Amino acid sequence: MPIAVEGVSYVYMAGSPYETKALDNVNLTIEDGEFVALIGHTGSGKSTLVQHLNGLLSPTSGRVLVDGQDLAQKGTDKRAVRFRVGLVFQYPENQLFEETVEKDIAFGPKNLGLAQEEISRRVKDAMRRVALSYDELSQRSVFELSGGQMRRVAIAGVLAMEPKVLVLDEPCAGLDPHGREEILGLIRRLHAESGTTIVMVSHSMDDVANLAERVIVMDHGTVAMDGTPREVFSRGDRLREMGLDVPQAVELAEALRARGIPVPQGAYLPGEVARAILAFAGKGEEPC
């Protein structure tokens, strides 16, 4: 179920003094099973773009095709598209509202009009995927849970809709390192085991480097770069111009190269840089 964004522009508050062009002629296609990271500084248009992927926002011009269907066209069942493109907002735990974990996760499937048995199966399956014990937690109040657990309940609520594409807007924001690891681990598993297409908005370049197969960089409402992490992170200067960080491994690789230590161009993972250092140290070349 590919998503094609074709010549999409979006203007907030058109005609008012606050008129802002949030997206400016964006073109991209997300194929089945991809793991895409979407990066860009605040105000670059990431969140606006993400809300176009399941029709929460409609383009001011251009179109978005989900599985070949134009979301803005009359006759397109937007509701059905939203079931297939699940969107996990920032701080999704703020949207939990039901009395129990089970009821909260069941809310979406229930609105689909599914049979009780199917709802129950989906709740259990979603909880298993986010590594929460059904027996222990399903009847608890969501407000008794830790921050990381609440976030996983919120994600389970989206997974219970069994989306083909999962879009996550900064899924790790505000979590402690352990909570982050849990969330990143479950996203990685969803991608690897179920082949779910993942679009992840993130500010953490280290997370992006570790997880994504493709990185899209937004700047001033346009796509500034679109490539593999290796391609994107090899342009450190350009990223910094756009107010972004690079992974620390990239920073180290650049600094070592500047001192004459050979680190392969495009190295962006800690392991790659470590190997380069070891190879260099082993060879005993001239001091730098």
Q: Which residues bind other proteins (CB under 8 A)?
A: 41-43, 146-148, 173-179, 203, 206, 243-245, 247-249, 251-252, 255-256, 259, 261, 270-271, 273-274, 277-278, 280-281, 284-285, 287-288
Q: What is the DSSP pairing of strand 165-169 with strand 85-88? A: parallel
Q: 194: Cβ–Cβ under 8 A, 6 or more apart, which residues?
A: none
DSSP 119-173: HHHHHHHHHHHTT--HHHHTTS-GGGS-HHHHHHHHHHHHHTT--SEEEEESTTT
Q: Measured from the CB atom, is 46 or 129 closer to other proteins?
A: 46
Query: Contact 140/99 with Cβ under 8 angstroms?
Result: no
Q: Name the maximum alpha-carbon separation found in the chain.
A: 72
Q: Measured from the CB atom, is 14 or 274 closer to other proteins?
A: 274
Q: Measured from the CB atom, is 29 or 146 closer to other proteins?
A: 146
Query: Contact 217/225 with Cβ under 8 angstroms?
Result: yes
Torsion angle, alpha carbons of 91, 93, 95, 97, to 10: -170
Alpha carbon of residue 102 to chain centroid:
25
Smallest separation, CB 138 to other proteins (Å): 21
**Cα 192 to Cα 172: distance, rounded to the nearest angstrom:** 19
Smallest separation, CB 147 to other proteins (Å): 5
Buried residues in 238-277 as b, exposed as e (16+ CB within 10 A): ebeebebbbbebbbbbeebeeeebebeeebbbbebbeebe
Q: Measured from the CB atom, is 123 or 211 closer to other proteins?
A: 211
Smallest separation, CB 181 to other proteins (Å): 9
Give me the residue label for tokens 């500084």: 41
> 240 is written with which tokens?
């910094």
Q: Measured from the CB atom, is 74 or 259 closer to other proteins?
A: 259
Give me the residue label for tokens 């399941």: 54
**Cα 64 to Cα 189: distance, rounded to the nearest angstrom:** 28
